[in-house]
Amino acid sequence: MKIEEFQLERIQSLYENTVELNLSESGVHPMSLRDLLSDDELAELHALELGYGWTNGAIALRETIAGQYDNHGPDNVIVTNGSAEANFLVTMSLLEAGDELIVFTPNYLQIWGLARALGVTTKTVSHDPQRNWQPDIKQLKSLITANTQLITVCHPNNPTGSVLSHSQMQALVEVAADNNIYLHADEVYKGSELEGTESASFRDMYENTIVTNGLSKAMALPGLRIGWLAGPAEKIYAAWQRKDYSSITTSALSEYVAAKVLQPALRQKILSRSKAILRENLSVLKNWVDNNADFVSLIPPKAGGMAFVRYLFSANSTELVHALRKEKGVLLIPGDVYGLDGFFRVGIGSPREHLEPGLGRISDYFRSNY
């Protein structure tokens, strides 16, 4: 099977641990076990047997996750090694050669790349910056054929931080339902909305929906490598069958911690911390954009750990990002790995002591070269 290089992850894998100022992250600066667990809980963790556990996730953990959705039980959930494995299992469970997939872009293009490797035809629908990154439902309708098996959307969106209104979500659901197509929603940023209430889950709006979520982004716990799928029981079982060919199971230690942090009170405490960090850093970024308006512009994100910044000069985004890395020691993510050149992604979940000097170096480079 030929597979295209996942350019976004390749850039981060090569450079995120070697660059001086890493502003490429899309989550929130992580928490520690000491931040999360009591002394008694830490003692329980130390005494935990390191066995395999349930290959689809511990029942208690699946029940806790199921409680986030309407009328769900543990058979509607499978626990995975991060949301990346969850996305992998969605692709392997719902798509095969000859099918068609519709992807909203810009987007995290993991499913797009995996589907293409399987021989799936991929089509894209634009989130339009001229409409504040809202999707074009008319364009979506025009792309559907008898071979369309799946529509995938990231909500809240990576990399733009856009959030759909409930009526916009409903419009998307109606298109999928009218055509009897499965809808996949990557909801790893759900709960990081900076204004108003937490968005509804697509899972509660349409039976033929399967959602990805996890602890790495809004929940600021990427090192646990805990993700999940929630969906119809028969599709979750199909994902479980395929998981037997990938990782078998998740870490017993991580599942123990996940069961604690997903309890409603602690989950809300963690999300409140995330939103406080994101709001403060977004203010820093907005001020930087205002002070460098000759070079950049921004539609401010409404959720998530990143912002998608447009630059106002002629340059390829990948070439620009590598120049900044080499000359200024700052790592960003180029827009063309999302399918949209002329932008770069900057992480606003980074520590402020990294964000401010990193932005300063970026503007110094712009003034020196453009």
pLDDT category at 154 given cuts 50, 70, 90 is very high
Q: Give the model's pLDDT for residue 7.
A: 92
Q: Give the model's pLDDT for residue 130.
A: 86
Mean pLDDT along residues 268-284: 98
* Cα 351 from Cα 155, distance rounded (Å): 24
Q: Which fold has domain 7-32+267-369?
A: Aspartate Aminotransferase, domain 1 (3.90.1150)
Peptide bond into 156 cis (omega under 30): yes
Alpha-carbon distances of 4 from 81, 93, 114, 117, 180, rounded to whole Å: 22, 20, 8, 7, 30
Q: Give the model's pLDDT for residue 363.
A: 97
pLDDT category at 12 given cuts 50, 70, 90 is very high
Mean pLDDT along residues 109-135: 93
* Cα 263 from Cα 252, distance rounded (Å): 18
> Looking at the predicted structure, is the pLDDT value of residue 308 above 90?
yes
**What distance lies between CA 95 and its chain's CA centroid?**
21
Q: Give the model's pLDDT for residue 73.
A: 98
> Looking at the predicted structure, is the pLDDT value of residue 34 above 90?
yes
**Whole-model pTM?**
0.96
Going from N- to C-terminal start, the domains of the chain cover 7-32+267-369, 49-263
Mean pLDDT along residues 238-256: 97
Q: Give the model's pLDDT for residue 274.
A: 98
Given the candidates 3.40.640.10, 3.40.190.10, 3.40.50.300, 1.10.10.10, the CATH classification of the domain at 49-263 is 3.40.640.10
217-227 pLDDT, tens per residue?
Answer: 999 999 999 99
Tokens describing residue 223? 């090192």
Q: Give the model's pLDDT for residue 131.
A: 86
Q: Give the model's pLDDT for residue 117.
A: 97
Averaged pLDDT of the chain: 97
> Looking at the predicted structure, is the pLDDT value of residue 128 above 90?
no
Q: Give the model's pLDDT for residue 227.
A: 98
Provide, rounded to the nearest whole percent, the portion of the chain with pLDDT above 70: 100
56-107 pLDDT, tens per residue?
Answer: 999 999 999 999 999 999 999 999 999 999 999 999 999 999 999 999 999 9
Contacts of 127 (CB under 8 A, 6+ apart): 104, 105, 106, 107, 133, 134, 135, 157, 160, 162
Q: Give the model's pLDDT for residue 55.
A: 97
Q: Give the model's pLDDT for residue 119.
A: 97
Q: Give the model's pLDDT for residue 70.
A: 97
* Cα 270 from Cα 263, distance rounded (Å): 11
pLDDT category at 215 given cuts 50, 70, 90 is very high
* Cα 327 from Cα 134, distance rounded (Å): 35
367: three-class secondary structure by DSSP: helix
> Looking at the predicted structure, is the pLDDT value of residue 127 above 90?
no
* Cα 132 from Cα 88, distance rounded (Å): 30
